[in-house]
Chain A
């Protein structure tokens, strides 16, 4: 979708729209409790952390990049968050520490990709090892427990009748939507993947914005640690390993392509929901969680097939 108008793009609904609809219908038939409000809220709960990663991942993929370190960085930020909380610091300070951790990794990712010219999948693979190594070494591979009451209480709270994490995810989506479609930065994101040269010729410091895209990814991974740690009531070094794959899958299923800055943020939201619904539905059908991972891979291929059959790539 080359158009920058979200509504015009929706007219050419990508395969993910049909996938999501088909899943909703199928799972409702197989299981009457699937379409209940508690279960739908549950899907929202499970999807919120993923959305926080998939939003910046969309921007990164649009810049013809990738961030394989996101899951590991999320794990490390969670460990940092939990350790600061265990030491008795206030929640905002712990959150700041987690954000800073994510930010540093995102920044280094960006510098490696943009200024050293290392292909993104290798740069972020290396950083994945670094983040994972630090998280494992600092914790000895154990969960960091005893994080106090503040975070779990906040996670369990609800705002305007919706779970805390769903509200946070919704706010994050609105913010990213605004940034991508209504700010200069958003325009530059489209141009960095689509027509980088013209951006440079227009005297925009392309490299700075390109690094900023990766930095944003790290920052959001740090922020997502808030939800993940709240949900697990502990900081775990490797619980989130591989979550970046779900995020990339959501982005690709949602119709953002690795070429020419073709991105569509509402598609990413649909992609995240599709993956959430798929996991939830497979749970309902008692499919083991190990096979759910495999089914996400299959989902990506099906979505891409539908799109290529309909003449979009």
Chain B
């Protein structure tokens, strides 16, 4: 038993494609505006830079997309990226092994996600309060762990993950496409994916139709944590340095990318391709501000406004759909 809104969203692939079309058109329009207003925009280095930055935002936002589709929220992702990156950095430095470092970062991210899941399912805390609490807990642990230190200078092999190129395209872009494909298959073509939409559309109905809701939700927070861990590796490899506060500016853009991508805050509706376009859109906006020499201090404000606008549009369209139904 799947709620009407879900059926509409899932069976209506053409509707999804149409919505995606509008978003892609928006990206093109934005690009044209930027190309006209700044000579630096259409240079190869800037375009690749935008793509690389968007990939990072997408990696963080993709897990959150799944969480929001399942009717939850994960506010701890930025802090998660921060701690996972710092742990990966120290392990690489102390062991000299890239593999161990990557594994440690992924494990840290996944563990934080799993704990989020436990708080939501076992302790029955509202997701926004559980993951917001986790944000500050992880933040505190990171600052304690790093004790004001900066770790920098990693082996070239590791840095390839963030700043390398294959066939002229940045490595993170490949990771973005890979994540899009893997998670896309997961939510479009597996029972688990269907169950996520069902839980998000109507958790009680999902429970009554025999879906083990707690276990499924726990897994989706864990996936979100794992994606944050992966993003942490890419981010660290690109920055080539780790500090306690590096995860801080990542939360707002990730949430903005998900919302701009058309995933509904009310749950049960959303696509990963939308989130990818959302990530590109947001990166273009911030990149444009850079090119136009607008002070970087304004970025939280612009991202905040983007979040509010996207949320507003989501609520309005959702209401229209529901009043028609």
Q: Which residues of A contact B (CB under 8 A)?
A: 66, 68, 112, 116-119, 121-123, 125-130, 132-134, 136-137, 140-141, 242, 245, 248-249, 252, 258, 288, 290-298, 300-301, 304-305, 308, 313
Say yes or no: B307 contacts A126, CB within 8 Å: yes
Report how far A290 CA is from B140 CA in the complex, Å.
4
Number of interface residues of B (CB under 8 A): 45
Told that A129-B307, A304-B123 touch, could you supply 7 new A-B pairs with CB distance under 8 A? A122-B307, A129-B303, A130-B301, A133-B300, A248-B132, A290-B141, A294-B136
User: Which residues on A sit within 8 Å (CB–CB) of B147?
Assistant: 288
Q: How far is the CA of A129 from the CA of B253 in the complex (A)?
A: 10
Contact B304 A127 (CB under 8 A): yes
Mark interface residues in B266-306 (1 if CB within 8 Å of A CB, else 0).
10000000000000000000000000000101111111110
B:215-259 near A, CB below 8 Å: 252, 255, 259
Q: Chain B contacts of A258 at CB under 8 A?
A: 126, 129
- A122-B259, A137-B298 as given contacts; A294 in contact with B137, CB under 8 Å: yes
Segment of B3-11, B88-96, B308-316 in the binding face: B308-316
- Give Cα distance in the complex from A134 to B295, angstroms: 11
Asked if residues B308 and A112 are in contact (CB atoms below 8 Å), the reply is yes
Q: Which of B103-145 contact A (CB under 8 A)?
A: 119, 123-126, 128-129, 132-144
Instruction: Specify which of A129, A245, A295, A308 is in contact with B301 (CB 8 Å cutoff).
Output: A129
B319 CB within 8 Å of chain A = yes
Main secondary structure of the interface of A (DSSP, over half): helix
A128 to B137, CA, bound (A): 19
| Partner pick for A293 among B126, B140, B297, B319, CB 8 A cutoff | B140
Contact of A245 among B136, B142, B297, B302 (CB under 8 A): B136
Q: A133 CA to B252 CA in the complex, in Å?
A: 12
B198 surroundings in chain A (CB, below 8 A): none
Report the bound CA distance from A252 to B125 in whole Å. 10
A-B contact pairs, 17 of them (CB 8 A): A118-B308, A118-B311, A121-B128, A125-B255, A125-B304, A126-B304, A130-B301, A130-B308, A132-B301, A136-B297, A245-B135, A245-B136, A288-B147, A291-B144, A296-B136, A301-B133, A313-B124
- Separation of A294 and B119 alpha carbons in the complex (Å): 15
The B180-215 residues at the A interface (CB cut-off 8 A) are none
A293 to B139, CA, bound (A): 8
Q: With A121-B73, A291-B144, A293-B136 as given contacts, are A133 and B128 in contact (CB-CB < 8 Å)?
A: no
Is B304 a contact partner of A297 (Cβ separation < 8 A)? no
Kindly state the separation between the CA atoms of A199 and B316 in the bound complex, as whole angstroms.
25
Find out whether the CB atom of B298 lies under 8 angstroms from the CB atom of A133. Answer: yes
Q: Which residue of A lies closest to B319 (CB)?
A: A117
Contact A290 B300 (CB under 8 A): no
Whether B137 contacts A298 by the Cβ 8 Å rule is yes
Interface status of B265 (Cβ within 8 A of chain A) = yes
B60 to chain A, nearest CB (A): 15
Query: How many Å from the CB of A184 to the closest CB on chain B?
Result: 29
A-B interface contact total, Cβ < 8 Å: 131
User: If A133-B301, A137-B295 touch, does A292 touch B140 (CB 8 Å cutoff)?
Assistant: yes
Chain B interface SS verdict (over half): helix
Residue of A whose beta carbon sits closest to that of B299 = A133
* Alpha-carbon distance between A295 and B136 when the two chains are bound, in angstroms: 10
Residues of A within 8 A of B136 (CB): 242, 245, 293-294, 296-297
A127 touches B308 (CB 8 A): yes
Decide: A122 and B311 in contact? CB cutoff 8 A.
Answer: yes
Q: Are A132 and B144 in contact (CB under 8 A)?
A: no
B304 touches A245 (CB 8 A): no
Name the one of A117, A119, A252 contacting B129, with C-beta atoms under 8 angstroms: A252
> Within 8 Å CB of B102, what residues of A?
none
Nearest-neighbour CB distance to chain A for B220, whole angstroms, equals 18
Q: Which residues of B contact A125 (CB under 8 A)?
A: 75, 252, 255, 304, 307
Chain B residues within an 8 Å CB radius of A123:
308, 311
Q: Inside 8 A of A301's CB, which chain B residues have their CB?
A: 119, 123, 133
Complexed CA–CA distance, A118 and B259 (Å)? 12
Per a CB cutoff under 8 Å, which of B75, B304, B316 touches A130?
A: B304
Most chain B C-beta atoms within 10 Å of own C-beta, residue among A66, A127, A293: A293
Inter-chain contact B141/A291, CB cutoff 8 Å: yes
Evaluate contact between A66 and B128: CB separation under 8 angstroms.
yes
Contact A116 B312 (CB under 8 A): yes
Ranked nearest first, the 9 interchain pairs of A and B with the lowest CB-CB distance are A129-B304, A133-B301, A293-B140, A290-B143, A297-B137, A294-B140, A136-B297, A126-B308, A133-B300
- Residues of A contacting B266 in the complex (Cβ-Cβ under 8 angstroms): 119
Residues of A contacting B315 in the complex (Cβ-Cβ under 8 angstroms): 116-118
Q: Which residue of B lies closest to A121 (CB)?
A: B128
* Of A137, A290, A305, the contact of B144 (CB 8 Å cutoff): A290
Contact yes or no, A129 B252, CB < 8 A: yes
A239–chain B nearest beta-carbon distance, Å: 14
Which residues of the other chain, A, contact B252 by a CB distance below 8 angstroms?
125, 129
Query: Please, which residue of chain B has its CB at the minimum distance from the CB of A72?
Result: B300
Assembled-state Cα–Cα distance A273/B233 (Å)? 40
| Residues of the A chain whose Cβ atoms lie less than 8 Å from the Cβ of B128 | 66, 121
Contact B133 A300 (CB under 8 A): yes
